[in-house]
Chains A and B, each alone.
Chain A
Amino acid sequence: MAATTPEVVISVRDVVNRFGPQTVHDGVSFDVHAGEVFGIVGGSGSGKSVLLKTMLGLRKPDSGVVEVEGHDITCMSERELRGVKQRYGVTFQHGALFTSLTVTENVILPMVELFALEEATLQSLAELRLRMVGLPVDAGAKFPAQLSGGMIKRAALARALALDPALLFLDEPTAGLDPIAATAFDDLVLYLRRTLGLTVVMVTHDLDTLARTCDRVAVLVDGKVIVDTLPGIVRNDHPWIREYFHGARGRLMAAAGEEAQRGA
């Protein structure tokens, strides 16, 4: 990937976001390359969600430019923006499945809204999405309240994939999952990236997910962003980043890992 200039899918330039007197992003710039998994980390209140919303076109930045596939989304009309939005899929932290619809109805909702298709075709496409995310086909008839946390995340991903997006945004995809389910979800993301060539942007706090899936990581600190590969970030001298990757939890994990290796 380093040899040739990678294709830029999203380009964020000098984005400033303010809430009253508080400046959340003070000139944030980075690129997301085609086909990579791009992680975003940052402390609580560092503006990860705001950054995600800005990239999704749900929030206009106070200044700066966000380009998706070469088009500036900050000065687009509603109609143009809708076209861009159909190119990406989003999963929200708590799934945001519509609780009054079954999983199948959730998945086909974007297709029902946008294309005139027959019921049988819609059912067939819903089945495809469920299979893609590894849900049993009979899960489609269930309501979100009847699903486990891991299944909700998968169902949300199935809905995000409904319109064949080239770009996937995941907000804390593995939060609240047990390590086995989280690993399975990481594998799923990697598998979809590999086979479908998706570009994935994810906000996550899960160090394992970061290490396993992300090609590059953006760290939000002090209203700025530092982008590097994960090893590069881990070697960074910034106190917050040191604390994040070398804090008590990180050390405990490393120590436990070494112990297990010695024991084996």
Chain B
Amino acid sequence: MPKSSAFQARVDVAEGRLSLAGDCRAADLGTLEAALREWAGAGSRSVDLSAAGGFDIGPAWILKRAMADAATAPAVSGSLPAHFAYLDEMLDGTSVRTADIAPQPREPAGLVRLGRALEVRGESWYEALTYGGKLISTAGSSWRSWRHLRIPSVVRHAYETGYQAVPVVAVIAFLISVISAYISAQQLRPYGGEIFTVDIVAVGVLREFGVLLTAIMVAGRTGSAYAAELGVMKLNDEVDALESMGIDPYEVLVLPRILGLVIALPLLTIVADFMGLFGGAILTRYLIDLPWPQFYMRLDEAIAPTTFWAGLVKAPVFGLLIGLTGTLRGLQVRESSRELGRLTTVAVVQSIFLVIFADALFAIFFLEIDF
């Protein structure tokens, strides 16, 4: 064992000589690299290793390569690192010159990249289509018997996505209706129309806010959970394991999740509607001194029999959209943990987008049919 001493590298630019002294460990790679670069600039004519100690294999390798890259083989004084023998044996006659190494494939040009991106996009749409098709056929066949409908699983998902989300949905619905009641009351006061705060809150909550906020909340909560759960199962080969047992993963994994959500979202919406009206009632009671019975009477006049249903009917559709997006993105996870993160994000963003887009379509539709 040579006595250990600090590594030193000196380059004599005029002579093109590299002098190394002391032990060169992996931690000295940076020093060695800088010296080698300078040496290459000076023509790399000779190496002085007479004061050099032991070399780790990494430094030995980059020294060897730098010596091979020199235009003419540099003159060596002192003994070469012991690992050179190992490297020669490992290389077995193949060259170490940088020029002889096959270059890494270059980044493709803009047009190629565009084409690839389009291809990926197209595949994604195609996958979504086939996914929908498979799901419909699975739903069709599992409808025929109770056993294939997986009631316990559906109930569990409805419980997890619905019941467990009640506190957060209730609080959010309450706060949003309080905010909208406060703003409406303030805007209507100059016209003496504070009483119509009740109309705004009731119609707003029942038709739009209740269901929309619930759906966005659930998209963030459940859409991401579905995508992550299925994604991890996919990475773990659990989906393939199910398939190999002759069990349809769409029937056991996908359909119960979607059905659970389609059941849970309307129920959550009812909770949100109730809490929203409750928040509006409290605020009008204390902000514009409207007693409870009057609030109730005004409410009765403000809303048509269809107002409540106009909101509620959207809930199962939103649930379906969130469930479809979450499960589809989860099953698209392949190969890497980064994919899992990316697709979970995509699942949430897309389901929120789809929910809002569908809400807009509903608004136009209801306007047209005067619902």
Give chain A's interface residues, CB within 8 Å of chain B: 86, 98-100, 111, 114-118, 120-121, 123-125, 127-128, 131-132, 137-138, 141, 143-145, 162-164, 195-196
Please give the distance in Å from A59's CB to the nearest CB on chain B.
Answer: 24
Question: A-side binding surface: helix, strand, loop or mixed?
Answer: helix
The complex places the Cα of A138 from the Cα of B62 at a distance, in Å, of 19
Contact of B33 (CB < 8 Å), options: A114, A118, A144? A118
B57 with A164: CB separation less than 8 A? yes
Q: A132-B90, A196-B86 are in contact. Are A125 and B62 (CB under 8 A)?
A: yes
Please give the distance in Å from A36's CB to the nearest CB on chain B.
Answer: 17
Please give the distance in Å from B150's CB to the nearest CB on chain A.
Answer: 31
The complex places the Cα of A82 from the Cα of B65 at a distance, in Å, of 30
Give chain B's interface residues, CB within 8 Å of chain A: 25-27, 29-30, 33, 37, 56-58, 61-62, 65, 83, 86, 89-91, 98, 101-102, 104-105, 334-339
The complex places the Cα of A194 from the Cα of B336 at a distance, in Å, of 36
A145 with B61: CB separation less than 8 A? no
Question: B-side binding surface: helix, strand, loop or mixed?
Answer: helix
B33 with A141: CB separation less than 8 A? no
Please give the distance in Å from B51's CB to the nearest CB on chain A.
Answer: 21
The 7 A-B pairs of least Cβ separation, nearest first, read A100-B338, A145-B335, A99-B336, A164-B56, A164-B26, A195-B86, A128-B61
The complex places the Cα of A128 from the Cα of B96 at a distance, in Å, of 10
Q: A132-B90, A195-B86 are in contact. Are A124 and B62 (CB under 8 A)?
A: yes
Q: Which residues of B contact A115 (CB under 8 A)?
A: 26-27, 29-30
Told that A124-B61, A141-B105 touch, could you supply 13 new A-B pairs with CB distance under 8 A?
Answer: A99-B338, A100-B337, A115-B29, A116-B30, A120-B98, A121-B62, A125-B29, A125-B62, A132-B57, A137-B101, A145-B335, A163-B26, A195-B89
Q: A111-B29, A164-B26 are in contact. Are A99 and B337 (CB under 8 A)?
A: yes
B62 with A131: CB separation less than 8 A? no
Q: Which of B37, B58, B83, B104 has the largest number of chain A CB atoms within 10 A?
A: B58
Q: Which of A118, A124, A143 has the largest number of chain B CB atoms within 10 A?
A: A124
The complex places the Cα of A114 from the Cα of B25 at a distance, in Å, of 13
The complex places the Cα of A175 from the Cα of B101 at a distance, in Å, of 33
B335 with A99: CB separation less than 8 A? yes
Q: Which of B27, B61, B83, B105 has the largest number of chain A CB atoms within 10 A?
A: B61
Q: A128-B58, A131-B90 are in contact. Are A117 and B101 (CB under 8 A)?
A: no
The complex places the Cα of A116 from the Cα of B34 at a distance, in Å, of 10
The complex places the Cα of A112 from the Cα of B337 at a distance, in Å, of 21
The complex places the Cα of A138 from the Cα of B98 at a distance, in Å, of 15
Contact of B30 (CB < 8 Å), options: A117, A163, A164? A117
The complex places the Cα of A132 from the Cα of B30 at a distance, in Å, of 21
Q: Which residues of B contact A125 (CB under 8 A)?
A: 29, 58, 61-62
The complex places the Cα of A145 from the Cα of B236 at a distance, in Å, of 12
A124 with B98: CB separation less than 8 A? yes
| Contacts A/B (CB < 8 Å), 28 sampled | A86-B26, A98-B337, A99-B338, A100-B337, A100-B338, A114-B27, A115-B27, A115-B30, A116-B30, A117-B33, A121-B29, A124-B61, A124-B65, A125-B61, A128-B61, A131-B90, A137-B102, A143-B335, A144-B335, A144-B336, A145-B334, A145-B335, A145-B336, A162-B58, A164-B58, A195-B86, A196-B57, A196-B86
